[in-house]
């Protein structure tokens, strides 16, 4: 059984698990499971995703487009 609160804290932690390339696949699977779990978790996740990745993840993105693409890609997962 998935402890949604624990998983949500991990995804949104200072380690930026949600946005890192190294953890993208696992984060995506976890993200989808949490999103379906409760409305409260869904709201917290959506808010965090819309804020976008932290600047430390986007350090090589001079145009700002990478952050927009990452947000769109993650939000698109919820349509399925």
Q: What number is the average pLDDT over the span 3-18?
A: 82
Highest mean pLDDT pick, 12-26, 35-49, 61-75 = 35-49
Note the pLDDT of residue 2: 60
Q: Please check the confidence at residue 61 and state whether its pLDDT lies above 80.
A: no
Q: What share of the chain is helix, strand, coil (3-state, %, to 5)?
A: 65, 0, 35
| 15's tokens | 């380690």
Query: What does the radius of gyration of the chain's CA atoms come to, in whole angstroms?
Result: 12
Distance CA 53, CA 19 (A): 6
Give the count of domains, the chain.
Answer: 1
Question: What does residue 15 show for φ and ψ, rounded to 5 degrees?
Answer: -75, -10
Judged by phi (left if over 0) then psi (alpha if -120 to 50, else beta), residue 20 lies in beta
**Looking at the whole model, is its pTM more than 0.85?**
no
Q: Range of 43's domain?
A: 4-77
């Amino acid at each position: 059984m998935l402890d949604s609160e624990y998983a949500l804290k991990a995804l949104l932690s200072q380690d930026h698990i949600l946005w890192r390339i190294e953890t993208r696949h696992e984060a995506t699977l976890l993200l989808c499971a949490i999103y379906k779990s409760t409305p409260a978790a869904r709201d917290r996740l959506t808010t965090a995703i819309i804020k976008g990745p932290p600047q430390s993840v986007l350090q090589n993105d001079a145009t700002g487009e990478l952050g927009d693409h990452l947000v769109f890609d993650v939000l698109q997962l919820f349509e399925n």
